[in-house]
Amino acid sequence: MTSRIVTFIRLLRTQGLPVSVAESLDALHSVSQVGVHDRDLLRLTLRTALVKSHRDFPTFDALFERFFTVPRRRRRQRGQPQASTSTGVGQRLALPQNGLPFTPAQRPPPTPASAHRPAQVSHSDTPEIASEETDQAWQALAELEQAWQEHMAATQQSRAAAVPEHTDTQRAQSRIDRPFPPDCLADMYREVERLAARLLSRQALRTRRAQTGRFDVRRTVLRGLRSGTEVPFTRAYRRRKISKLRLIVLCDVSGSVWQVSTFLLKLVHTLQAAFASVRSLVFVNSVVEVTELFRRMHFPEDLESLRHYPQLNLFGLSDFGRVFYQFSQDFVQDLRRDTVVLILGDARNNAFDPQAWALAEVRQSCRRIIWLNPEPRREWNTGDSIIAAYAPACDQVLECWTFEHLAQAADALLRA
Amino acid sequence: MTHTPPLSPSPVARRLASVADVSEQFTAANYVCSKETATAVFLMVHLQRPLLVEGPPGVGKTELAKVLAQTTEAQLIRLQCYEGLDEAKALYEWEYSKQLLYVQMLKEQLGSLLATTTSLNDAVALLQRQESAFFSRHFLLPRPLLQAIVASQPTVLLIDEIDRADQEFEAFLLEILSDFQVSVPELGTLQATQRPLVVLTSNATRSLSEALKRRCFYLYIDHPTLATELQIVQRKVPDIDSRLATHIVQFVQRVRQLSLRKPPSISETLDWALALVVLGASVLSRDLIVETLNILLKDKDDIARALREAGR
Q: What is the pLDDT of residues A256-268, one digit of tens each?
A: 787 788 788 877 7
* Contact across the interface for B43 and A53, Cβ inside 8 Å: no
Q: Which residue out of B218, B219, B261, B301 would a mutagenesis test of the A interface target, given it has the greatest number of A Cβ atoms within 10 Å?
A: B218
Q: Is A186 or B64 the better-scoring residue by pLDDT?
A: B64
The answer to whether the Cβ–Cβ distance between B96 and A57 falls below 8 Å is no
Q: Which residue of A has its CA nearest to B216?
A: A49
Q: Distance (Å) from the C-alpha of residue B148 to the closest C-alpha of chain A?
A: 24
A100 touching chain B per CB within 8 A: no
Which of B84, B100, B214 faces A22 most closely, judged by CB atoms? B214
For residues B38 and B71, the answer to whether their CB atoms sit within 8 Å is no
Average pLDDT over residues A75-101: 42
**Which chain B residues touch A57 with a CB distance below 8 Å?**
220
Contacts of B204 in chain A (CB under 8 A): 168-169
Q: Return the pLDDT at A142.
A: 62
Between A22, A40, A205, which is nearest B35 by CB?
A: A40
Mean pLDDT of chain A: 73
DSSP H helices, chain B, are 11-15, 19-28, 35-47, 61-71, 87-90, 96-105, 107-115, 120-134, 144-150, 167-179, 210-214, 226-236, 242-257, 266-278, 286-296, 300-311
Residue A403 has pLDDT above 80, yes or no: no
| Contact state of A209 with B216 under an 8 Å Cβ cutoff | no
From chain A residues 209-238, the ones with a CB under 8 A of any chain B CB are 209, 215, 230-232, 235
> Greatest CA separation found in chain B?
94
**Residues A89-129 pLDDT 10s:** 444 444 344 434 444 444 434 434 333 434 343 343 334 44
| Inter-residue contact B154 to B73 (CB < 8 Å) | yes
Contact B84 A205 (CB under 8 A): yes
Torsion angle of C-alpha atoms A272, A275, A276, A279, degrees rounded to 10: -60
Q: Are the CB atoms for A276 and A244 separated by under 8 Å?
A: yes
What's the N-to-C CA distance of chain B in angstroms?
A: 57
DSSP H or E segment with residue A369? strand A368-373
Interface test with A, best of B214, B219, B223, B260 (most A CBs within 10 A): B214
What per-residue confidence (pLDDT) applies to A122?
Answer: 38
pLDDT tens digits, residue range A180-228?
Answer: 666 666 667 777 777 777 777 777 777 777 767 778 888 888 888 887 7
pLDDT at B98: 87
Give me chain B's average pLDDT, please: 86
For domain A182-213+244-415, the CATH class is: alpha beta
Q: Tell me: the pLDDT tens digits for A122-174?
A: 343 334 444 455 555 556 666 666 666 666 666 666 555 544 444 444 555 56
Mean pLDDT of A382-393: 88
Q: Which residue of A has its CA nearest to B214?
A: A23
What confidence score (pLDDT) does residue A184 get? 65
Residue A44 contacts B where some CB pair is shorter than 8 Å: yes
pLDDT recorded at residue A379? 85
Contact A34 B43 (CB under 8 A): yes
Residue of B10, B39, B44 to mutate, interface with A, max A Cβ within 10 Å: B39
DSSP per position, A31-98: HHHH-SS-HHHHHHHHHHHH---GGGHHHHHHHHHHHS----HHHHHTT-TTTTTTS-HHHHHS-GGG
CB contact A28 to B (< 8 Å): no
In the prediction, which pLDDT does A126 show?
A: 37
Neighboring chain B residues of A230 at a CB cutoff of 8 Å: 103, 107, 110
What are the pLDDT digits (tens) for B288-312?
A: 888 888 899 988 888 888 888 877 6
Which pLDDT tens digit goes with each residue over A257-308? Answer: 877 887 888 777 777 767 778 888 888 888 888 877 776 665 655 667 777 7
Q: What is the pLDDT of residue A156?
A: 61
- Chain B residues with beta carbon closer than 8 angstroms to that of A34: 19, 39, 42-43
Global ipTM: 0.83
Q: What was the pLDDT predicted at A148?
A: 64
For A73-97, give one letter per residue: b (16+ CB within 10 A) or e. Answer: beebeeeeeeebeebbbbbbbbbbb
- The shortest C-alpha distance from A49 to chain B (Å) reads 5
> Does residue A400 carry a pLDDT above 60?
yes
Which residues lie below 8 Å from residue A270, measured CB to CB, with a gap of 6+? A192, A193, A196, A197
User: From the CA atom positions of chain A, what is the Rg in Å?
Assistant: 32
Q: What is the pLDDT of residue B195?
A: 87
The contact set of B with A (CB < 8 A) is 1, 3, 5, 19, 35-36, 39-40, 42-43, 46-47, 49, 52, 54, 83-84, 96, 100, 103-104, 107, 110, 166, 204-207, 210, 213-220, 222
Beta bridge partners of B218: B52
Nearest Cα residue in chain B from A198? B83
Q: What percent of chain B has pLDDT over 90?
A: 30
Is the predicted pLDDT of residue A88 greater than 70, yes or no?
no
Q: Is the peptide bond before A300 cis (omega within 30 degrees of 0)?
A: yes
Q: Is A289 on the interface with B (CB under 8 A)?
A: no
Which of A164-168, A200-204, B76-80, B200-204 has maximum average pLDDT? B76-80
Q: Which amino acid is at A286?
A: S
What pLDDT is attached to residue A399? 87
Chain B positions touching A235 (Cβ under 8 A) are: 96
Which span out of A34-38, A331-335, B42-46, B170-174 was modeled with the highest average pLDDT? B42-46
Residues A363-381, mean pLDDT to the nearest whole number: 88
pLDDT, tens digit, for every residue of A316-368?
A: 888 899 999 999 988 888 888 888 899 988 888 888 888 889 999 899 888 88
